[in-house]
Structure 1
Amino acid sequence: MISGDILVTAGEVGQGSPQHLGHCPQQDPLWPGLTVHQHLEVYAAVRGMRKEDAAVTISRIAKALDLQKHLKTPARRLPAGEARKLCFALSVLGDPMVMLWDEPSVGMDLKGQCRMWKVIQTAMKGKERAAVLSTQYLEEAAAMCDRVAILVSGQLRYIGSLEDLKSKFGMSYHLEVKMTDVGQSDALHAEILRLFPHAARQERTSSLLIYKIPMEDALPLSQSFSKLEAAKRNFRLEEYSLSLHTLQQVFVDLTRDLEEHNPDVASNGSVERRPLHP
């Protein structure tokens, strides 16, 4: 179990200062019988807001998250996405100084996610605020976060800016080749290595080969596509794609790298401590 202290404005969080901390856990901390509006009123009172101010704030946040039509709905009748919106709304009510969000957008549709992102941007813009967001969606991290930390099986694999993450792990190309004749996979693999000498095969299925290609191997792109077009004709490939590594692929690479060096990860999640890769 991990434990520790959090200090905000020289006071310990949880010691008589609930207005300083907003929290959206994975499990929605909602009272089944209370309506959306009643939840917001209770949290506003706990945060020490005056009734007049609370009414204005509740109206504003309900509109921002498109919760107006659910204000009189008991929590037990809320769809999963609307319940997450309410949980998130409670975490930002009263403009707390520190906000902790644990996968707040799970269950939301794309419109709900975008509304939540706008609220976060408004809450953080030009203010002395701090927020920690955990998410499985790297697109969300890219849209919201100044710094990112990647955890794999409990180990910290990276912490820093997105730009630094891309420069260290993302300066490569992602090649996917789909075959029509699976009997040519070995010959095709040899051809890929001839065309791109430093290519590293990431995955292999019955009809699909996936490679990570260093940028220097793939440039200029015009030549790379000419080579791949020739391979497509010679090996009767169904299709191929060559694209820059995405953040999602970077995350997959980091996960795969840990599992390759620690075989027990996949079975029981226990790993030895190793220094972070540069």
Structure 2
Amino acid sequence: VLNFMPYIIFINDFKLTMIIVSMVLLPSSTLEVFLIFLENRAEEYYEEFQEFIFHLSAVDLLVCLIPYVQTLLLVFILRCMELKCGQKVIRKDPVFRISPQIQNVPLNPEIHVDEDEDVQAERMRASSALTTSNINENPVIIASCLHKEYAGQRKSCFSKRKKKIAARNISFCVKKGEVLGLLGPNGAGKSSSIRMIAGITKPTGGQVELRVGECKSFLGQQGDGMVKFLGYCPQENVLWPTLTMKEHLEVYATVKGLQKEDAAIVISRYRELCFVLSILGNSPILLLDEPSTGIDPTGQQQIWQAIQAAVKNTEKSVLLTTHYLAEAEALCDRVAIMVSGRLRCIGSIQHLKRKFGKDYILELKVKEPSQVPLIHTEILNLFPQAAQQERFSSLLTFKLPIADVYPLSQAFYKLETVKHNFNLEEYSLSQCTLEKVFLEFFKKPEPENVDEEVDTTMRWKLLSYSDEP
């Protein structure tokens, strides 16, 4: 109907009022109505004055200006809709060539009373890195006091919205050639933190800076130059449904400035494709949000090997989020445990085991089951505070406090004596596992989140290093 409206208007008498109304109310027919108006006006002048040159009246001039005014108005409306409803991008607007809107994000220097000293030291390190360029470690990724709040759902029409805090003053630095892992269960704030660093989500407070050589990028200022420096693998598969895997690789290779031949690789799963797209182009900064989730053990091993090779060969700075303990132990130089949006501890895995591991685990494998009671008595004599954990026909497991074990040389001397006297097949004395360190932080809920619903279905999954599924 809209396409034939201009012709319907001119079937009977030519009326200027109808022209103006149709041009204003029917934007799709503006051009056709305008051309028909000029044609009819020219015919009228030619019939009356025998010439094609005619003078426009004020009303005619208004009709001529309507298409231009309408174009400017529609462009303005389109821009307003993009700013209000469109997704945030880190590049310049391809149509308007306008850089992303930069807003100053306030710092949020709130410090919890019971905060770990390593977390406080990391916050001071990040704050110093933002103000000082000549520091020894020269971090590439700097996050200082990142804070993110979301508006929660209302329980009723008259109740107030409760704020849901996804990240509480997160601060850390990642230097060149380092892999930092953010560990925690679902809902701990890992993805929110990495999305703020990638520039996808605007933080409520805090500051982020990315440094690559002489190039620096602050939060909200990642322009065209930073796109080639940043590789991002989101938690969800962000792929085009109509493109094949090969076409995805060709598109991303073009964006990264590579030849299509450089993107030749065989991939059989979409999650692996998202990971490959993030490392394509030799980006010095990698943000990996649970890259191996949903992949079989063989595929996980391949992803781990690719990350290790990338860090070893090109000294990439990698920020990795995961809830797989084996993945953290295999890849991360340092780990940070997050609980309810808070950074509870940060450091190397060995440092965390030594600091938060309260006990050692002693396992004894005996040859003669009849000697189990005697061995049990001897262990209690050597380590008075030992607590038996498991007991089988030929296997005993004890938990030893650190005070009974140190010094380690004396502990191993005692165990060697027990092995010789009771003819043990073997024994092992090990530190507390990373899993137990994690569970120590999850025993009690955060004070700020006591009234919130807690997902009790969380289970830790330990991955095997073997290639067999």
C-alpha separation between the residues in 2 aligned to 1:164 and 1:256?
A: 15
Structure 1 counterpart SS, 2:292? coil
Distance 1:106 1:254, change over 3 A: closer
Kindly indicate whether residue 193 of structure 2 is the aligned counterpart of residue 7 of structure 1.
Answer: no
Equivalent of 2:305 in 118, 121, 127: 118
Indicate how the Cα distance of structure 1 residues 197 and 250 shifts in structure 2: closer, same or farther if over 3 A, else same. Answer: farther
Aligned-residue identity in percent: 36
Partner of 1:159: 346
Q: 1:29 to 1:257 in 2, by over 3 A?
A: closer
The aligned residue for residue 231 of structure 2 is 22
Structure 1 equivalent of residue 323 of structure 2:
136
The answer for the alignment partner of 1:234 in structure 2 is: none
Residue equivalent to 1:184: none
Decide whether aligned partners of structure 1 residues 266 and 256 sit closer, same or farther in structure 2, where only a CA change above 3 A counts: farther
| Counterpart pick for 2:406 among 202, 212, 216 | 216
Structure 1 216/40 Cα, relative in aligned 2: closer, same or farther at 3 Å? same
Note if contact 2:340-2:446 (Cα within 8 Å) is conserved in structure 1: no
Change (3 A) 1:58 1:168: same
Query: Corresponding residue for 1:57?
Result: 262
With over 3 angstroms needed to count, the CA separation of the structure-2 counterparts of 1:265 and 1:160, relative to structure 1, is: farther
Residue 86 (structure 1) aligns with: 273
- Residues 289 and 322, structure 2, Cα contact 8 Å, conserved in 1: yes
Counterpart secondary structure, 2:301: helix
- Over aligned residues, Cα RMSD in angstroms? 4.4
How far does residue 190 in structure 1 lie from its aligned partner after superposition? 9.8
Given the alignment of the two structures, is residue 245 of structure 1 paired with residue 402 of structure 2, yes or no?
A: no
Compute the displacement of 1:107 (Å). 2.5
> Closer, same or farther in 2 for the Cα pair 1:24/1:116, shift >3 Å?
same
Please tell me whether residue 196 in structure 1 is matched to residue 401 in structure 2. Answer: no
1-structure distance, mates of 2:286, 2:413: 48
Deviations 1:125-183 (A, max 9, x none): 35463210112223322222222112234332221223423433458522479xxxxxx
Q: How far apart in 1 are the matches of 2:416 and 2:401? A: 13
Amino acid in the other structure paired with 1:7: E
Question: Is the CA contact 2:353–2:437 (under 8 Å) kept in the aligned structure 1?
Answer: no
Letter of the 2:321 partner, please give it: S
Q: Judging changes above 3 Å, is the alpha-carbon distance between structure 1 residues 87 and 200 closer, same or farther for their aligned structure 2 residues?
A: farther
Q: CA deviation at 1:101?
A: 0.6
Structure 1 residues 128 and 204: CA distance shift in structure 2, 3 A: closer
Q: 1:145 to 1:213 in 2, by over 3 A?
A: same
Q: Normalising by structure 1, report the TM-score.
A: 0.62
Which residue pairs with 2:194 in the alignment?
Answer: none
Give the CA deviation at 1:227. Answer: 6.0
Mapped partners of 1:143, 1:90: distance in 2: 22
**2:243 matched residue in structure 1:** 34
**Structure 2: gaps spanning 5 or more residues:** 1-165, 168-201, 211-215, 365-375, 456-469
**C-alpha distance in structure 1 between counterparts of 2:421 and 2:445, whole Å:** 36
Question: 2 CA distance for matches of 1:41 and 1:125?
Answer: 26
* Counterpart mapping for 1:67-86 below 5 A: 67=266, 70=267, 82-86=269-273
Structure label with greater radius of gyration: 2
Check conservation: 1:7, 1:13, Cα contact below 8 A. no
Unaligned runs of 5+ in 1: 71-77, 178-188, 232-239, 270-278
Range with bigger deviation, 163-172 or 36-45: 163-172
Bigger helix share: 1
Q: Normalised by the size of structure 2, how large is the TM-score?
A: 0.40
Q: How far is 1:92 from its partner? A: 0.7
268, 272, 277: which one pairs with 2:454? 268
Provide, for residues 170-228 of structure 1, a one-character-per-residue CA deviation record: whole Å limited to 9, x for no partner. Answer: 58522479xxxxxxxxxxx9997655333467x799xx986354233885346447769
User: What displacement does 1:33 show?
Assistant: 3.0
Equivalent AA in structure 1 for residue 233 of structure 2: C
Equivalent residue pairs, number:
235
AA aligned opposite 2:250: E
Structure 1 residue matching 2:361: 3-state secondary structure: strand
Q: Does 1:259 align with 2:443?
A: yes
Mark the CA change 1:94 to 1:146 in structure 2 (over 3 Å): closer, same or farther: same
CA distance in 2, matches of 1:153, 1:197: 38
